[in-house]
Amino acid sequence: MPAGLTGLIQYNAVDNSPAATWQVGYTDEYASTVHMILTTGSADGLMDVSLRGGLQHPATDLCSNSLSLQALSDKVTTCETVVVNGVLIRLASYHDEDYGDVTVAVRLLVGGFVSVRVTQGIPIHHYDGTMPPDALARVSRGQHTILGGFPALPAIPLMPLQVAAIAANPALLP
């Protein structure tokens, strides 16, 4: 964690797990994400680590358009790759109107990928009052949540190669 920042993991309301995991339809595909607020106490950024697996047609090329749309953003039009500890990682940095500066690192896996996204800020969530019938409403547990509403960090908290090193970490693998 960079000096001056604290990491606050956002826990799942249902089972108090740090990972929110979804199965996609009646397939083997799943997505699992952990959100960590990176805060100075008065300004917040975000790090999301996502694991996608069981994909019907997994990407085999880090520079493929399908991987760009699944793991990155339509704002990413270039493909920069780096090797970290022998692992090939795709890196992308861009500016987002809501999140500020963003860096994403993606690592291919058999049947899926790992992505690590770090953002300068967290946009405020605008709840529209509608919920699916099986959704649970809960009160936020504090000011620093993935629901945003606090000032963004003055700069993105991690450099691109630091984000790539997190994606290359074997501890992230299932």
> pLDDT tens digits, residue range 65-109?
877 777 777 777 788 999 999 999 999 999 999 899 999 999 998
Q: What is the pLDDT of residue 117?
A: 94
* Better-scored residue on pLDDT, 14 or 33: 33
Q: Is residue 12 part of a domain?
A: yes
Residues contacting residue 120 through CB under 8 Å, at least 6 positions apart: 45, 99, 100, 101, 102, 152, 153, 155, 156, 157
Q: What is the pLDDT of residue 128?
A: 63
Q: What is the pLDDT of residue 119?
A: 95
Q: Is residue 62 part of a domain?
A: yes
Q: What is the pLDDT of residue 9?
A: 84
Evaluate whether 152 touches 100 at the Cβ level (below 8 Å): yes
Q: Is residue 1 part of a domain?
A: no
Q: What is the pLDDT of residue 143?
A: 62
Where is average pLDDT lowest: 18-32, 43-57, 139-153? 139-153
Please provide the DSSP assignment of 74-126 as one string: TT----EEEEETTEEEEEEEEEETTTEEEEEEEEEETTEEEEEEEES--PPP-
Q: What angle do CA 115, 64, 25 make, to 5 degrees?
A: 60
Percentage of the chain beyond pLDDT 70 is 84
Q: Is residue 37 part of a domain?
A: yes
- pTM value? 0.84
**pLDDT (mean) for 4-24:** 77
Q: What angle do CA 69, 70, 71 make, to 5 degrees?
A: 100
| Per-residue tokens: 60 | 């085999």
* Better-scored residue on pLDDT, 15 or 52: 52
The b-or-e profile of 152-173 (16+ CB within 10 A means b, else e) is bbeebbbebeebbbbbbbeebe
Q: What is the pLDDT of residue 21?
A: 78
Average pLDDT, the chain: 83
78 lies in which domain range? 6-172
Alpha carbon distance 92, 114 (integer Å)? 14
Question: How many domains is the chain built from?
Answer: 1
Q: Is residue 39 part of a domain?
A: yes
Q: Is residue 15 part of a domain?
A: yes
Q: Is residue 27 part of a domain?
A: yes
Please say if the pLDDT value at position 144 is more than 70: no
Q: How far is CA 13 from CA 4, 16, 82, 115, 158, in A?
A: 28, 6, 36, 23, 28
Q: Is residue 116 part of a domain?
A: yes
